[in-house]
Structure 1
Amino acid sequence: MEYRCVECGNAMKSLFVQYSPGNIRLMKCERCRAAADEYIECEIMIIVIDLILQKPKAYRHLLYNVLGPKSSYFEQGLLGKLSFGFLVLDGYRSLFIDRSREQLGLSTSFSSLLWRFQKLLMDVFLGNFIFLSTFLLATRIFLSASVGSLRYKEILPAILISSYFKLFLLAMMVWEFPSSVVFIIDLFVVSANTVALKVITESTTSRCVAICSCAHFMKFLVTQVLELRSS
């Protein structure tokens, strides 16, 4: 990946000129004539707020100007860490839904706990395998003309990073929420995935919505089938 202007996505060789420690001048984009990356001078909370508000320029800053140019996601081991966190949060999501259905209190036998553990693994790993497979297949179908030489290993970290809304599931460890909150979080995840995919591929919003919706729907369908088989 290369540096990008957060406003228009134009490629940049550098984002700022440093004259001395703490004394920098932001570079201007040749296309839109705006500061290439205003977030360089912003506090981290400003970036977090803009990510929550799902502003594309915040995603360009994070995906291109912070993580992209340094080294490959694979070389840093970042992809493995993101994947692990993604799966752990998905596992907690499944446990929360099961608890809300009062399934965990039905039996405390070893065989029952083992069966539930196997169901949890199937739900998390099979569901996400179908999700990623559908996502990559839909990307090839819907974006075959616009993706070009774009590497899928750049799209995958973008999807994992934009799934940060799953972190709000941790709040359920402290406060009691109805199970419907989980599905509200899922909607925010779909929306954030769409914005990240649009930033990475520079495709239309409708195509990105179609891709993310198909992938999440297939994951939901698989988990529901597993639930019906276990009931």
Structure 2
Amino acid sequence: MPICIECRYPVKTLYTEYSGADDRSSGHGVRLTVCKNCGRFCDKYVEHDFVVLFIDLVLIKPQVYRHLLHNTLMREHDQFDPIVFQYVFFLILCALSTLSFHLSIRFLTSSPLSPLVLSNLIPRYPRPNSVSTALLVSSSTKLFPILMVIWEYDVPAAARSLGWAVVANNVEALKILLDCGYGTAAILATVGAISRWMVGRGILWVAGLDGVDTVGDSGVASDGKALWAVVELGREWGGRLGLG
């Protein structure tokens, strides 16, 4: 049973919907229920969009938690809403994909069995945790989509630009940390991106979603384009410096 988010008093309904109400967030055709206990609206977030929810979550307002935990994400008899399982699935997908990205690069840079180390392309780096730290810091650009909650962007173009920025930062961070060339850093970033893609596709295959186009696919494509752009930019500047 839903509750009033202000005083936690149980109520039968949070709103009354009239004919012609296409979107509750617009407020048209919807009348919010007034709590008999406190005299305030039972759940004002019924009419609010996700931007307001996000801001109030950041501000740790108890009302928004009551809205989500009692009136939205949980059902009768203490059952999860199906969307919760979707969130958990994608959280696991992202976590395992990111883990594979880090482990593959850590192996190539810090393991005695690394083919790059055995072939003397790079010296063995004895601090794998520093490698992961460099990757995490340089991947912080991925936090920029949070702004898309507030401002609208061209999503495909923003995803491509973000992919280029993240890969360029990864390459630069690896180059600085390992004191290697751009080519070696680009190889490491490419292997990490391929590992991330393979793990992501494997999880989707196990879940029966192998035919679904994912963000991981576009991310790998963006990684490849970004790496090629970095190589082309390096060649262009190298040619200019050579001519100068």
TM-score (norm 1): 0.47
* Higher Cα Rg, which structure: 2
